Amino acid sequence: MMLEVRDLDLHYGDAQALDGVSLDVAEGEVVAIIGANGAGKTSLIRAIAGMKRPSRGTISFEGQNITGRASSIICDLGVAQVAEGRQIFPSMSVRENLDMGAVLPRAKAKRKETLERCYEMFPKLKVRSDQAAGTLSGGEQQMLAIGRCLMGQPRLMMFDEPSLGLAPAVVSEMFKIIKTLHAEGMTVILVEQNVSASLKLADRGYVLENGRVVLSGTGSGLLNDDGVRQAYLGL
Ligand SMILES: Nc1ncnc2c1ncn2[C@@H]1O[C@H](COP(=O)(O)OP(=O)(O)OP(=O)(O)O)[C@@H](O)[C@H]1O
């Protein structure tokens, strides 16, 4: 397994956000995490990224125990959280923002070819490469955030609600991009309010309720599960 999460508890003060969460992600898989507001999805992502220390349990990535390690170390190992579109550097150009993603030695070495790949995936970013990033549309800024993440040569990309606040056309472009990344062998964890689209795309998924995994299965299995359909798809 590329990522193994075991019996994870996470607290904010006295409030428990995760309760015994276990999850596996194999290399090349897209794994969806679904759940209502406050179920613990973001907390799980933050624990994996090293941004919030769990109170119990272990997280290992490619055989290394990364539980409670600094986020910078986890990032160096290739675990990347795709920033929200808003977290780009608005006064810097598109190109400069992309270059900022390739600071690690292994990423720097491949900067040119990764940049070409980004421009292929996001032709609009190429056209606008000299434009200040803050002047891009919301959707373009989200694409730039993904591009910047790719520039760092990640092994695992985690998306936390990438479609939030985006227009429907941009949302479908988003899903297309994740599909392309999947086809190219990228490993992805996807947290999405858009449950139907994310389960259609995902190899497997986990359902979180009140900080616990209550159900897991293949994307299509969950999509056809009566409980999931009632609770998350309104069917
Ligand atoms: N910084 C914090 N301090 C205190 N409690 C927090 C903090 N962040 C999250 N929580 C609580 O932890 C629980 C899980 O929150 P989390 O953000 O992980 O859920 P989520 O599934 O991502 O929700 P959403 O879909 O609304 O983003 C919630 O009860 C939330 O109120």
pLDDT at 68: 94
Q: Cα of 211 to ligand 1 centre, how many Å?
A: 9
Residues 56 and 97 in one domain: no
> What is the rounded average pLDDT of the residues 209-218?
97
- ipTM of predicted assembly, 2 dp: 0.94
Residues 29 and 120 in one domain: no
Q: How many domains does the chain have?
A: 2
Per-residue pLDDT tens for 151-163? 999 999 999 988 8
Residues 142 and 131 in one domain: yes
pLDDT of 235 above 80: no
> What is the rounded average pLDDT of the residues 19-48?
97
Ligand 1 atom nearest 193 alpha carbon: 25
Residues 159 and 229 in one domain: yes
Of the pLDDT bands very low, low, confident and very high (cuts 50, 70, 90), residue 85 is low
Percent of the chain with pLDDT over 70: 99
Q: Which of 12-21, 87-96, 225-234 has the highest mean pLDDT?
A: 12-21
pLDDT at 186: 97
Ligand 1 atom nearest 39 alpha carbon: 21
Boundaries of domain holding 115: 90-153
Residue 165 is inside which H or E element, if any? Answer: none
pLDDT of 83 above 80: no
Residue with the bigger pLDDT between 6 and 87: it is 6
- For ligand 1, which residues put their CB under 6 angstroms from it? 12, 15, 17, 35, 37-43
Which of 103, 132, 153 is the last residue before a domain boundary? 153
Ligand 1 atom nearest 15 alpha carbon: 5
pLDDT of 120 above 90: yes
Q: Cα of 47 to ligand 1 centre, how many Å?
A: 12
In 60-208, alpha helices (H): 71-76, 94-100, 105-109, 111-121, 123-127, 138-151, 168-183, 195-201
Q: Whose CA is nearest to atom 12 of ligand 1?
A: 17
Cβ contact 50:73 at 8 Å: yes
| pTM, full prediction | 0.94
